[in-house]
Amino acid sequence: MRITTRTITTSYELCGPEQAPVVMLSHSLASGMSMWDPQLVALRSRFRILRYDTRGHGGSDVPAAPYRLDDLVADAVALMDALAIRQVHFVGLSMGGMIGQGIALAYPERLLSLSLCSTSARMPPEAQPVVQERIDAALKEGLQALVDGTLARWFTPGYLRTKPPEVERVRRQFLATPVAGYVGCTEAIRRLDYLEQLARITLSTLIIVGEDDPGTPVSASRAMHERIAGSRLVIIPSAMHLCNIERTEVFSSALAGFLPGAG
């Protein structure tokens, strides 16, 4: 389904019991709402699930780049407003977790809880040249130039070797991302700098990270955990960035175990 909000037209899906609490799922860069397919089994019997394509991705609008992280935050809140949803349990992975932090800081009254997965709160200065290289490659050669390197950061070698159908689905989603959307969102998250504001978050918060994640490492999750009072940190062994796919049962169990007592 698509809905026009006060910011953009957003592609979304809403499923599960109509009177149940809403869990809102926000995906990673160069992915889409289908990234959350593995979690639906664990959640949809007890929760109303709202998942959506971030601007520049999937079926949502692709405005001209660059975007700001504030734009991505505003899009998520505008979607909630358009669907008359007052509060959600927000679950974001990677870029989605950055959006979740922005909502928690600017609109805390809209959240029942916050789950930050495979994400960080600050983009270090030393990462900027690498980010620029990826933007330049996307603009010059398209996302085909980036897909293999990205998959190598998203999944362990063992998963890449033994799960070709699952990896191929992720590859197709990556390559289907519009270049303008990839560049726009990359420009947005390269300016990420929430770390020293996180002490303001008083929401019930879960932090999940893959033990071997090279892009948003365990140290980044520990930094968030140290600043968000009462937060819970779960480190998933033998997993890299997309730990919700690579270690579905462990990830979903941690998330489902957190949500019922949240809020």
Assign 139 a pLDDT band (cuts: 50, 70, 90): very high
Q: How does the average pLDDT of the chain come out, rounded? A: 97
**Amino acid symbol at 47:** F
CB within 8 Å of 132: residues ≥ 6 apart: none
Mean pLDDT of 165-173: 98
pLDDT at 261: 59
Query: Does the pLDDT value for residue 20 go beyond 60?
Result: yes
Whether 51 shows a pLDDT value over 50: the answer reads yes
Asked if 112 and 262 touch (Cβ cutoff 8 Å), the reply is: yes
Q: How confident is the model at residue 65 (pLDDT cuts 50, 70, 90)?
A: confident
Q: In residues, how long is the chain?
A: 263
Identify the pLDDT of residue 144.
98
In what helix (H) or strand (E) does residue 20 lie, and over which residues does it extend?
Answer: none
The pLDDT tens digits of the residues spanning 73-109 come to 999 999 999 999 999 999 999 999 999 999 999 999 9
In three-state secondary structure terms, 113 is strand
Q: Give the per-residue pLDDT at 112.
A: 98
2-261: in CATH 3.40.50.460: no
pTM for the whole thing?
0.98
Number of neighbours of residue 229 by Cβ within 10 angstroms: 11
Task: Write out the two tokens for 23.
Answer: 């869990």
Please state, in angstroms and as integers, the Cα–Cα distance from residue 242 to each residue in 99, 155, 162, 185, following that order: 17, 7, 16, 18
pLDDT tier at 260, thresholds 50, 70, 90:
confident
pLDDT tens, position by position, 100-137 = 999 999 999 999 999 999 999 999 999 999 999 999 99
* Region 181-198 average pLDDT: 98
pLDDT at 263 over 80: no
What's the token pair of residue 149?
Answer: 């390197």
What are the boundaries of each domain within the chain? 2-261
CA dist., res. 108 & res. 113, Å (int) = 9
Cα–Cα distance for residue pair 113/9, rounded to 1 Å = 26
